[in-house]
């Protein structure tokens, strides 16, 4: 595994430079730099906008009490795609774009599922929530109603002459018998 990672760290930058030189020869050096800069700026914008939106979808799935696996994978894929867009290079930008578009992200999700599904074991429990148990847990079930006994007090800025006044505060007495 170490050899594969080391070879990727050596081969990847060489491949990126080769593609950059080929693009610069075909469209010009200035336009190649403009594309690399535009890719970086768009990656930053995607990371800011879509990251917030997917975080809200993840929180929505959790609050609806359903497994947020799809939202979590989409959030990781979009974040990875945006980071790949930020990294200068055309190969990384192409891979980042593949992770950003929903149809290709769906294919990546299916591929990742089939690749990693055999490596994980899923355990389930036998406990279930019935409607009655869930409503009792959330405070809606049982004999409790929606009415709550309470008392309202009207607060005004005018002093009420009939209101009870607290006695004036007395200085603390010295109980030890020593003068200070």
Residue 82, domain member (yes or no): yes
Residue 85, domain member (yes or no): yes
- pLDDT for position 92: 93
Instruction: Give 154-176 pLDDT, tens digit per residue.
Output: 766 666 666 666 666 677 666 66
Predicted structure pTM score: 0.60
End-to-end, the C-alpha distance of the chain in Å comes to 79
Residue 140, domain member (yes or no): no
Residue 126, domain member (yes or no): no
Residue 63, domain member (yes or no): yes
**Residue 97 pLDDT class (50, 70, 90 cuts):** very high
Instruction: Give 2-58 pLDDT, tens digit per residue.
Output: 888 888 889 999 999 999 999 999 999 999 999 999 999 999 999 888 877 887 888
Number of independent structural domains in the chain: 1
By residue range, what is the domain housing residue 20? 2-116
DSSP H helices, the chain, are 2-27, 29-63, 69-86, 90-100, 102-116, 131-138
Residue 47, domain member (yes or no): yes
Residue 124, domain member (yes or no): no
Residue 45, domain member (yes or no): yes
- pLDDT for position 167: 67
């Amino acid at each position: 595994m170490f050899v594969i990672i080391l070879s990727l760290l050596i081969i990847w930058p060489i491949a990126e430079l080769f593609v950059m030189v080929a693009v610069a020869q075909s469209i010009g050096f200035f336009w190649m730099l403009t594309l690399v800069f535009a890719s970086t700026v768009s990656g930053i914008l995607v990371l800011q906008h879509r990251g917030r939106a997917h975080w809200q979808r993840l929180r929505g799935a959790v609050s609806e009490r359903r497994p947020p696996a799809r939202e979590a994978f989409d959030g990781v894929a979009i974040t990875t795609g945006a980071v790949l867009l930020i990294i200068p290079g055309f190969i990384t930008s192409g891979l980042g774009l593949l992770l950003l578009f929903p149809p290709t992200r769906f294919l990546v999700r299916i591929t990742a599922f089939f690749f990693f599904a055999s490596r994980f074991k899923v355990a389930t429990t036998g406990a279930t929530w019935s409607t009655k148990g869930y409503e009792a847990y959330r405070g809606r079930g049982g004999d409790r109603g929606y009415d709550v006994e309470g008392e309202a007090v009207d607060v005004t800025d005018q002093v009420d002459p009939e209101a009870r006044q607290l006695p004036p505060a007395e200085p603390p007495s010295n109980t030890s018998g020593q003068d200070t």
